Amino acid sequence: MIHHDLKLYNTLTRQTEKFVPLHPNLVGMYVCGPTVYSNAHLGNARTFISFDVVFRYLQHLGYKVRYVRNITDAGHLESDADEGEDKISRKAKIEQLEPMEIVQRYTIDFHQMMASFNALPPSIEPTATGHIIEQIEMTKQIMANGFAYESNGTVYFDVEKFAKDNNYTALTGRNLDDLLNGTRELSGQDDKRGRLDFALWIKAKPEHIMKWPSPWGEGFPGWHLECSAMSRKYLGEQFDIHGGGMDLAPTHHTNEIAQNIACTHHKTPVTYWMHTNMLTVNGQKMSKSLGNSFLPHELFNGSHPLLDKGYSPMTVRFFMLQAHYRSTLDFSNEALQAAEKGFARLMNAMKLIEHLKVGVSSTSNVQVLRENIYAALDDDFNTPIALSHIFEATRIINSVNDGKESITHEDKELLKKTLYEIVYQVLGLKEENAVNTDKIDGLMNMILEVRNEAKTRKDFSTSDLIRDKLKEIGFDIKDGKEGSKYSLIN
């Protein structure tokens, strides 16, 4: 099935390139996961939903994908300075909890959120604390290769030395001298030789809770190291795709590449770097530090002050897929409401296709439609374009259903297969509020039958009463030529 001409935008080359995996039919993909010191918000969710589609589509094309997404549970420094405090232990003090208790709580929270968005779990979800030995070993190797130095129990990566023979800023294309001469001051870190040097291993203060023994004393790993160590362990020294939010590229990913090269000498540890753009609120990046982030439950039940009402997880997933992953996406009531209706329209068509009557000819070219959908996804996972073609399909389905257009059996089956595979399998959308017990179905059909009898007697007050009462309970009734149908209201 891998005959597709999949292309993806590579941050490293700033170009859209044909996707060629290092090993035929196998794909190694690493995505930087969340730091579990507080609730994951919708901005985080956007990135992981984007990569969920990448994961799903690659698999759909027939690749065997190993998708690794880490959990950062060892904490990061508040700043890159050695006097900074570990985020996780800081939160632990505030909440009077053990650090691992925080980690556990927010890891579960994160998993629940991703499950609600119908995101597939990654193949491997390694934790930083579970790979301390690997990180120490990697630090040792980088030191042995001469790219790191120890200073008072902390090990720093020597960026300037690395940059002599390597392109340190390859990912962002920044001018190294500009970075070195940046206006930001060194905040009294005398242990560091260069202002761009970053910690591989950090000496722990006595009161620090999360710490491990190492050749350099008690400490904890630096915040870029875990991804290098774990991607290397599970995907090898060179692998295909590395992803993450755009905000990680200049520092985190730049340093990750440096670490990998310094350790393994492979000039290109990763072939394709993919970065997702930010979710914005009123044009501003949604982030924890700006305090404008939405928590999933605030969105689902509408308790956030900026929202008029709640929106279901699938509405939100659909909303996100209506924008390309490399564009910013702005969050607003109006946009969400539009998504809610559009999604309902799509799901309605998905149900309708099952019962479509077939004819001797087709008024639409289903094959071309199918090719258009694949062409969109092959073009750097362009889900908005794919959806626009899918909506063309819903128009066809509705028209056939109305008897205004016709479709052959073969075309119907092809359309059904295409939509099921793309909408459910690749885009990961699913029907919500499905009524799936036989007893409710039987009961509803009985009620509708009684109502229909009233209608044929022209007893419209009774038929309207039944419809109104059912609506109060939460069932929507729609009368059509083929009889009445019911559906659950959100």
Partner RNA sequence: GGUAUUGUGGCCGAGAGGCUAGGCUCAGCUCUGCAAAAGCUGCUACAGCGGUUCGAAUCCGCUCAAUACCUCCA
> Does 46 participate in binding RNA (rule CB under 7 A)?
yes
- Cβ-proximal residues to 248 (8 Å cutoff; 6+ apart), any chain: 32, 275
Residue 286, CB-side half-sphere exposure with 13 Å CA sphere: 23
- Site map (CB under 7 A) of RNA, residues 268-307, x = contact: --------xxxxx--xxxxxxxx-----------------
Between 102 and 477, name the residue whose CB sits nearer to RNA. 477
C-alpha 142/C-alpha 144 separation (Å) is 5
> Does 337 participate in binding RNA (rule CB under 7 A)?
yes
The total of other beta-carbon atoms located within 10 Å of residue 215's CB is 12
- Site map (CB under 7 A) of RNA, residues 64-103, x = contact: ------------xxxxx------x----------------
The total of other beta-carbon atoms located within 10 Å of residue 198's CB is 23
> At its nearest, how many Å lie between RNA and the CB of residue 175?
6
Using CB under 7 A, pick the residue from 7, 193, 208, 345 that binds RNA.
345
> At its nearest, how many Å lie between RNA and the CB of residue 22?
24
C-alpha 144/C-alpha 155 separation (Å) is 12
Cβ–Cβ under 8 Å, residues 210 and 220 = yes
C-alpha 74/C-alpha 96 separation (Å) is 17
Using CB under 7 A, pick the residue from 33, 99, 221, 222 that binds RNA.
33
Angle at 78 between CA 187 and CA 206, to 5 degrees: 90
| Candidate ranges 149-157, 169-177, 262-270, 437-445; the one touching RNA (CB under 7 A) | 169-177
> Does 441 participate in binding RNA (rule CB under 7 A)?
no
Using CB under 7 A, pick the residue from 323, 356, 427, 444 that binds RNA.
323
Cβ–Cβ under 8 Å, residues 147 and 158 = yes
> Does 456 participate in binding RNA (rule CB under 7 A)?
no
Using CB under 7 A, pick the residue from 44, 127, 228, 271 that binds RNA.
44
Using CB under 7 A, pick the residue from 17, 330, 413, 431 that binds RNA.
330
User: Between helices 383-401 and 313-321, what is the axis angle to 10°?
Assistant: 110
* Nearest alpha-carbon partner for 317 in 342, 293, 280, 298: 342
Amino acid identity at 247: D
Using CB under 7 A, pick the residue from 2, 476, 483, 489 that binds RNA.
476
Between 166 and 251, name the residue whose CB sits nearer to RNA. 251
> At its nearest, how many Å lie between RNA and the CB of residue 196?
8
Between 348 and 408, name the residue whose CB sits nearer to RNA. 348
C-alpha 224/C-alpha 280 separation (Å) is 26
- Site map (CB under 7 A) of RNA, residues 372-411, x = contact: ----------x-xx-xx--xx-xx--xx-xx-x-------
> Does 183 participate in binding RNA (rule CB under 7 A)?
yes
Using CB under 7 A, pick the residue from 21, 244, 296, 428 that binds RNA.
244
> At its nearest, how many Å lie between RNA and the CB of residue 437?
24
> At its nearest, how many Å lie between RNA and the CB of residue 25?
28
| Candidate ranges 173-181, 214-222, 406-414, 440-448; the one touching RNA (CB under 7 A) | 173-181
> Does 123 participate in binding RNA (rule CB under 7 A)?
no
- The footprint of RNA on this chain (CB under 7 A) covers a number of residues equal to 86
The total of other beta-carbon atoms located within 10 Å of residue 156's CB is 23
C-alpha 115/C-alpha 118 separation (Å) is 5
Between 104 and 292, name the residue whose CB sits nearer to RNA. 292
C-alpha 435/C-alpha 487 separation (Å) is 8
DSSP 3-state of 275: strand
> Does 438 participate in binding RNA (rule CB under 7 A)?
no
Cβ–Cβ under 8 Å, residues 411 and 362 = yes
C-alpha 271/C-alpha 255 separation (Å) is 16
> Does 348 participate in binding RNA (rule CB under 7 A)?
yes
DSSP 3-state of 26: strand
